[in-house]
């Protein structure tokens, strides 16, 4: 399968997250995130065609979003447990997802930009498009002093 975008390597993700959170982010392979319960970040090309999505579980969004604004770790843990994330957590993780767009671009890929974030259960048509044959790459991310969560990239 020839991809329109680059496959995000563990090294590229690690470097980007270390630049945001400092040394100490721990990245490892994980099982795919359940697209129905995750936040979906849609990456589009210059013609507004969806080329990739990244799905992040609520735990990652709460922990990584909270760490960006130094929200107390306890508040992040509670939000991750209840699934009730603040708009600040969502906005901050949106910026993380925007930065991660660089991990799915290289000299041979199309130019991508983050188009939008969809909440769990929103935009079933987009999710269905990526449920077929496409490349999947999943990571567990441990955010220093916070907690962990999972992300999956679905690439075409």
Range of the domain at 140: 10-155
Any domain includes 127: yes
Does residue 17 surpass a pLDDT of 90? yes
Q: Over the stretch 96-111, which tens digit does the pLDDT of each residue have?
A: 999 999 999 999 899 9
Any domain includes 149: yes
Q: What is the CATH number of the domain that holds 26?
A: 3.40.1550.10
Any domain includes 117: yes
Q: Give CA 47 to chain center in angstroms.
A: 22
Q: How many domains does the chain have?
A: 1
Does residue 127 surpass a pLDDT of 80? no
Mean of the per-residue pLDDT values for the chain?
93
């Amino acid at each position: 399968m020839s991809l329109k975008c680059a496959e995000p390597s563990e090294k590229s993700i690690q470097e980007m997250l270390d630049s945001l959170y400092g040394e100490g982010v721990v990245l490892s392979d994980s099982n795919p995130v359940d697209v129905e319960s995750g936040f979906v970040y849609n990456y589009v090309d210059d013609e507004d065609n969806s080329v990739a999505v990244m799905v992040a579980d609520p735990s990652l969004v709460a922990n990584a979003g909270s760490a960006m604004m130094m929200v107390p770790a306890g508040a992040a843990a509670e939000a991750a447990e209840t699934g009730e994330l603040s708009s600040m957590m969502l906005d901050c993780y949106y910026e993380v997802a925007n930065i991660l767009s660089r991990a799915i671009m290289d000299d041979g890929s199309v130019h991508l930009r983050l188009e939008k974030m969809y909440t769990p259960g929103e935009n079933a048509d987009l999710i269905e498009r990526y449920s077929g044959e496409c490349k999947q790459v999943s990571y567990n991310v441990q955010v220093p002093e916070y907690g962990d969560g999972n992300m999956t990239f679905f690439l075409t």
